[in-house]
């Protein structure tokens, strides 16, 4: 029960803070003029349903940066100072082991296949992006501000922390809530630039309408999209794109945050059954370090929940202020274990271990399938917003580029709804399995993203890809063939690893027709109506393995 506060914090990491948001009065002011009459779909200012927007203390890294660390040569901050020595790291980076709180980094190891060039004469005809927002302050539900106040109360009343915790004697809490930090703006701007280099030529400058990009109304989501578009097009992006903010609030249909129109998903996230495996693993991996820190707490009864909050503060202070003294309290193994806690959390909340894992992500899957096939959304048993998705103005189906912005939980659910069973392996509460593939830090770091390419080849491309020259890289006597290629944080997601219908290919692609045939079953498999509204009882961790009720 002690964890309840820090853990609903967990539920946290998402957006579950159904903070009562007062929709502001609508006005006719717009930043992006649309060419339509009727509703102004593309209003971005003033913001509606922006959620909590609390700013924190300004950083002053020039003053707070320790600059050098014992045994580490000088490393200029870039812009964060992350060169503090961590016991047991041996050159590994703890910021790659912070689950969904890892600042963006490309997935260096990949997901099981190498990368291959396109054979000459083959073209990418569409790219669909599902992009997470950037680094942010904690969610309201995480309770970190209360933790900070507690520590400041202790020191004000004379508690003297010692040894590694001595820095707390002069420490004060200064984080805001929910909104992007500067690093988060940078991550999205950088992603816009990266996507421009990768896909700029796909932008159709002779299109009859501006490109429609979609995000949610939440402040960090809106601003993530704007920073991305500024990176992709430049500061005059409103000349090229209309941004559609879809209402993010409990009870509203929104494919970019499917949980808000899925009652059972919301109920599950509040349930002690969902919390059980998370609490159990937390108690296990933080037991010893908690005993050590307790001795340095000047008589205060330092608990496992305090150790967990201290780890979260390392992640948040680093992206907010550029450096955090909390990081060095823990050794490298504690960071791997912390990341594993977040892996369990997302599997059970949004992934294959959640009874509504598929249901929460199916709306975006169906939207993707509709766009690939060039028609408005026709299926109704999802929680996509049908007002928007049956209108070509708000759901154009003739674009070559689709930019959608979403949350960590939505991206995990979307992968689940597609059926990426590569990530369905069980995550025991006793610790990480040797064959673990579901790593939230590799899948949904801040600004994590899925790029889905549709590829047209004049002939079939052989499953066994030649290295070097791709000039002769076609199967003789075959005709034009389309492929689909998924990239997750800049590495290929091999489709054969999750879909038995997709043949093994070196490049991890799948023939588009085959993939579309496989996806015909996804909607039924999600059991959307039953999973979100059914009268079923929740079952304990381990009983749900396919993202639907046990």
Q: Which residues bind to ligand NAG, rule: CB under 6 A?
A: 120-121, 123, 146, 149-150, 153, 204, 206-208, 247, 252-253, 261, 380, 383, 385-388, 400, 535
CA distance 264 to 258: 12
* Cβ 228 to ligand NAG shortest distance, Å: 21
Shortest CA distance to 187 belongs to which of 154, 220, 162?
Answer: 220
Choose between 15 and 230: whose C-beta lies nearer to ligand NAG: 15
CA distance 42 to 176: 28
Choose between 212 and 429: whose C-beta lies nearer to ligand NAG: 212
Choose between 57 and 120: whose C-beta lies nearer to ligand NAG: 120
Choose between 260 and 420: whose C-beta lies nearer to ligand NAG: 260
* Cβ 475 to ligand NAG shortest distance, Å: 17
* Cβ 279 to ligand NAG shortest distance, Å: 21
Choose between 43 and 422: whose C-beta lies nearer to ligand NAG: 43
Residue count (the chain)? 550
Distances (CA, A) of 44 to 53, 56, 519: 15, 23, 34
Here the tokens at position 368 are 């993707």
Burial of residue 316, with CB atoms counted within 10 A of its CB: 0-12 exposed, 13-18 middle, 19 or more buried: buried
Here the tokens at position 391 are 């209108």
Looking at residue 465, the DSSP 8-state letter turns out to be P
* Cβ 85 to ligand NAG shortest distance, Å: 32
* Cβ 314 to ligand NAG shortest distance, Å: 20
Strands 123-132 and 401-406: parallel
CA 456-460-461 angle, to 5 degrees, is: 90
Choose between 376 and 386: whose C-beta lies nearer to ligand NAG: 386
Query: Which residue has 């430049």 as its token pair?
Result: 234
The DSSP annotation for 200-217 comes to GGGS-TT-SSPEEEEEES
* Cβ 26 to ligand NAG shortest distance, Å: 11
* Cβ 235 to ligand NAG shortest distance, Å: 24
Choose between 428 and 534: whose C-beta lies nearer to ligand NAG: 534
* Cβ 193 to ligand NAG shortest distance, Å: 21
Choose between 372 and 447: whose C-beta lies nearer to ligand NAG: 372
Choose between 153 and 271: whose C-beta lies nearer to ligand NAG: 153
Cβ neighbour number for residue 115 with a 10 Å cutoff: 11
Looking at residue 252, the DSSP 8-state letter turns out to be S
Query: Is residue 467 within 8 Å of 482, Cβ to Cβ?
Result: no
The alpha carbon of 180 is separated from its chain's Cα centroid by a whole number of angstroms, namely 14
Query: Is residue 215 within 8 Å of 256, Cβ to Cβ?
Result: yes
Query: Is residue 296 within 8 Å of 164, Cβ to Cβ?
Result: yes
Choose between 430 and 535: whose C-beta lies nearer to ligand NAG: 535
Choose between 429 and 548: whose C-beta lies nearer to ligand NAG: 548
Query: Is residue 23 within 8 Å of 35, Cβ to Cβ?
Result: no
CA distance 145 to 21: 20
* Cβ 204 to ligand NAG shortest distance, Å: 4
* Cβ 217 to ligand NAG shortest distance, Å: 8
Choose between 247 and 257: whose C-beta lies nearer to ligand NAG: 247
Maximum CA extent, the chain:
82
CA distance 200 to 193: 9
Strand ranges, E, within 165-272: 211-216, 241-246
CA distance 145 to 185: 23
Burial of residue 45, with CB atoms counted within 10 A of its CB: 0-12 exposed, 13-18 middle, 19 or more buried: exposed
* Cβ 262 to ligand NAG shortest distance, Å: 7
Here the tokens at position 521 are 């079953």
Choose between 207 and 490: whose C-beta lies nearer to ligand NAG: 207
* Cβ 19 to ligand NAG shortest distance, Å: 18
Distances (CA, A) of 191 to 111, 200, 224, 227, 228: 20, 12, 10, 9, 6
* Cβ 375 to ligand NAG shortest distance, Å: 15
């Amino acid at each position: 029960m002690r964890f309840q506060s820090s853990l609903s914090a967990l539920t946290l990491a998402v957006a579950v803070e159904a903070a009562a948001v007062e929709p502001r009065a609508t006005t006719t002011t717009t930043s992006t003029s649309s060419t339509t009459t009727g509703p102004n779909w593309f209003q971005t200012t003033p913001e509606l349903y922006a959620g909590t927007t609390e700013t924190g203390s300004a950083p002053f890294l020039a003053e707070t940066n320790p600059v050098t660390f014992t045994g580490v040569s000088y490393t200029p901050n870039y812009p964060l100072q992350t060169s503090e020595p961590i016991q047991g790291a041996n050159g590994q980076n703890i910021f790659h082991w912070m689950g969904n709180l890892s600042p963006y980094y490309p997935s260096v190891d990949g997901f099981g296949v190498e990368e291959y060039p396109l054979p000459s004469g083959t073209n990418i005809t569409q790219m669909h992006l599902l992009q997470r927002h950037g680094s942010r302050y904690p969610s309201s539900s995480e309770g970190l501000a209360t933790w900070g106040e507690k520590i400041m109360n202790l020191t004000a009343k004379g508690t003297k922390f010692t040894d590694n915790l001595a820095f707390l004697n002069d420490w004060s809490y200064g984080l805001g809530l929910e909104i992007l930090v500067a690093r988060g703006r940078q991550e999205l701007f950088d992603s816009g630039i990266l996507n421009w280099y990768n896909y700029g030529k796909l932008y159709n400058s002779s299109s009859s309408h501006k490109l429609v990009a979609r995000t949610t109304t939440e402040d960090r989501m809106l601003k993530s999209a704007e920073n991305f578009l500024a990176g992709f097009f430049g500061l005059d992006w409103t000349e090229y794109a209309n941004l559609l903010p879809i209402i993010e609030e409990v009870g509203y249909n929104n494919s970019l945050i499917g949980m808000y129109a899925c009652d059972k998903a919301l109920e599950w996230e509040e349930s002690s059954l969902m919390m059980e495996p998370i609490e159990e693993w937390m108690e296990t991996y933080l037991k010893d370090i908690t005993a050590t820190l307790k001795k340095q707490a000047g008589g205060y009864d330092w608990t496992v929940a305090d150790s967990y909050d201290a780890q979260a503060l390392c992640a948040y202070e680093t992206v907010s202020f550029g450096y955090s003294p909390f990081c060095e309290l823990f050794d490298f193994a504690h960071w791997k274990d912390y990341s594993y806690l977040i892996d369990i959390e997302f599997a059970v909340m949004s992934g294959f271990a959640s009874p509504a894992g598929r249901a929460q992500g199916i709306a975006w899957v169906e939207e993707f399938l509709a766009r690939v096939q060039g028609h408005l959304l026709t299926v109704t048993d999802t929680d996509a917003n049908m007002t928007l998705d049956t209108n070509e103005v708000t759901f154009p189906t003739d674009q070559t580029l689709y930019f959608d912005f979403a949350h960590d939980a939505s991206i995990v659910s979307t992968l689940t709804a597609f059926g990426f069973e590569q990530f369905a392996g069980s995550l025991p509460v006793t610790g990480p399995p040797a064959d673990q593939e579901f790593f939230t830090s590799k899948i949904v770091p801040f600004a994590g993203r899925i790029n889905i390419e549709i590829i047209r080849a004049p002939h079939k491309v052989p499953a066994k890809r030649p290295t070097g020259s791709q000039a002769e890289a076609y199967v003789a006597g075959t005709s034009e063939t389309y492929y689909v290629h998924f990239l997750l944080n800049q590495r290929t997601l091999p489709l054969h690893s999750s879909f038995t219908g997709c043949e093994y290919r070196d490049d991890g692609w799948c023939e588009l027709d085959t993939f579309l045939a496989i996806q015909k079953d996804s909607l039924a498999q999600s059991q959307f109506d039953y999973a979100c509204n059914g009268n079923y009882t929740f079952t304990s961790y381990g009983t749900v393995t396919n993202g639907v009720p046990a």
